[in-house]
Amino acid sequence: MSNILVRDLSPETIRFIKARAHRNSRSMQSELKNIIEMAARSESLDTALLSARMRRMLGEGDHRDSADVEEGNI
């Protein structure tokens, strides 16, 4: 498993992370790992949901590439 080093976090940020870890009965390391993993998954999920929404909105019609429109190829 890879390691990540984060430098120069403010004392206030450290206090927030410690408090969050305590509320969740985790070590700071476990809390940070959870935060990073959730953030990474949520971005992928957000992208997938947005793509699905756009496909529903566009429907089955003829959708041309905007580069073709700009170049006058249509």
pTM: 0.57
The answer to whether the CB of 17 falls within 8 A of the CB of 28 is: yes
pLDDT tens digits for range 22-74: 999 999 999 999 999 888 877 777 777 887 888 787 776 666 666 665 666 55
Query: For position 13, what pLDDT does the model report?
Result: 95
Return the DSSP state at 27. Answer: -
Instruction: Report the alpha-carbon distance of residue 55 to residue 36 in Å, rounded.
Output: 29
Which residue matches tokens 């003829």?
Answer: 62
Query: For position 14, what pLDDT does the model report?
Result: 95
Boundaries of every domain in the chain: 11-56
Query: For position 12, what pLDDT does the model report?
Result: 96
Answer yes or no: is pLDDT of 21 > 80: yes
Instruction: Give CA 54 to chain center in angstroms.
Output: 18
Query: For position 7, what pLDDT does the model report?
Result: 94
| Structure tokens belonging to residue 1 | 């498993």
| Structure tokens belonging to residue 22 | 């305590």
